[in-house]
Amino acid sequence: MNLCVIPARGGSKRIPRKNILSFCGIPIIAYSIKTAIASGCFDKIIVSTNDPEISAVANQYGAETPFVRPESLSGDFVGTGDVIVHAVSWARDNGLDVDHACCIYATAPLLEPRFISEAYQQLVDTPKAAFCFSATAFSAPIQRALRQNADGRAEMFNPDNYAVRSQDLEPAYHDAGQFYWGSADAWLSNAEIFLNKPVMYIMPPHHVQDIDTPDDWVFAELLFRALQGLKT
């Protein structure tokens, strides 16, 4: 079976109550739940939270909250991997034969169901792959990146690339921070995702936006409305 885990603790600092704030009319976590349901990939969708209000909202939109996340896994410095390990362990301990688990972040309103299903297919079609995660291309060649030196002057990290055409430089990608598919065994082994030759599901850049600050939130809502306008 396939398990979806949406981490959503109650202690967000920079945007208080972020995971259930209204985003274009509904709690932001609702988008992740609705996307998971619409993907058709999951036998069970769990929200891992320590917060009763988040739990109630998650239930309202179709997710289960069968346990209260331990406080030891609810602090500011707890990694997402530990939260997924806890959820997968709980599922197996309760008789669920989990083959794959996908972490979808609670603040991913720009995700589409097809991204989740296509990434899952990419994972199972790739021999010996343990993980498939969302990624997107850097908007400019990283080979031409600049730094500021001690004198306040700009310097290239790689001056040899100054005269190389952009189209001749190798594309580079970064973690999009939207979702992470993995085999249950890989999650439970605490394998480092990026160090285990994962596969990347490349997302369009206009579907990727970190939401960590109030300005991020405003920009994400503008982007969401623009994308919705394109569909009508």
Total number of residues shown for the chain? 232
Burial letters 66-103, b for 16+ CB under 10 A, else e? ebebeeebbeeebeebebbbbbbebbeeeeeebebbbb
Token match 């690339």: residue?
161
State both tokens at 52: 């009763």
Query: What mean pLDDT do residues 204-214 have?
Result: 96
Is the pLDDT score of 41 beyond 80?
yes
Assigned domain for 115 exists: yes
pLDDT at position 229: 85
Residue 200, pLDDT > 80, answer yes
Which structure tokens are listed for 94? 């309760």
In whole angstroms, what is the distance from residue 225 CA to residue 210 CA? 16
| pLDDT tens profile 44-91 | 999 999 999 999 999 999 999 999 999 999 998 899 999 999 999 999
User: Beta strand pairing status for 173-183 and 131-137?
Assistant: antiparallel
Is 92 inside a domain boundary?
yes
Q: Tokens 């285990």, residue?
A: 196
pLDDT for position 12: 83
pLDDT digits (tens, 9 = 90+) for 153-193: 999 999 999 999 999 999 999 999 999 999 999 999 999 99
With bands split at pLDDT 50, 70 and 90, how would you rate the model's confidence at 232? low
Query: Comparing C-alpha atoms, which of 203, 214, 192 is closest to residue 111?
Result: 203
Pairing state of beta strands 2-7 and 44-48? parallel
**d(Cα 232, Cα 219) in Å, to the nearest integer?**
20
Q: What is the dihedral of CA 90, 194, 192, 113, to 10 degrees?
A: 0
What pLDDT does residue 189 have?
A: 96
Is 89 inside a domain boundary?
Answer: yes
Q: Answer whether residue 82 is part of any domain.
A: yes
The number of folded domains in the chain is 1
**Is 152 within a domain?**
no
CATH code of residue 10: 3.90.550.10
Query: What mean pLDDT do residues 187-209 have?
Result: 95
The answer to whether residue 145 is domain-embedded is no
Is residue 36 over pLDDT 70?
yes
Structural domain span for residue 129: 2-134+175-231
Count CA within 13 A, CB hemisphere, residue 139: 5
Residue 230, pLDDT score: 67
Domain assignment of residue 157, yes or no: no
Nearest alpha carbon to residue 198 among 184, 182, 185, 187: 182
Phi, psi of 202 (to 5 degrees): -80, 115
Task: Tell whether 156 is covered by a domain.
Answer: no
Average per-residue pLDDT for the chain: 96
Per the rule left: phi > 0, alpha: psi between -120 and 50, beta: everything else, 164 is: beta
In the structure, what pLDDT confidence band is assigned to residue 11 with cuts at 50, 70 and 90? confident
Q: What is the pLDDT of residue 151?
A: 96
Determine the average pLDDT of the residues in 115-142: 97
Instruction: Summarize the chain as % helix, strand, coil (round to 5).
Output: 40, 20, 40
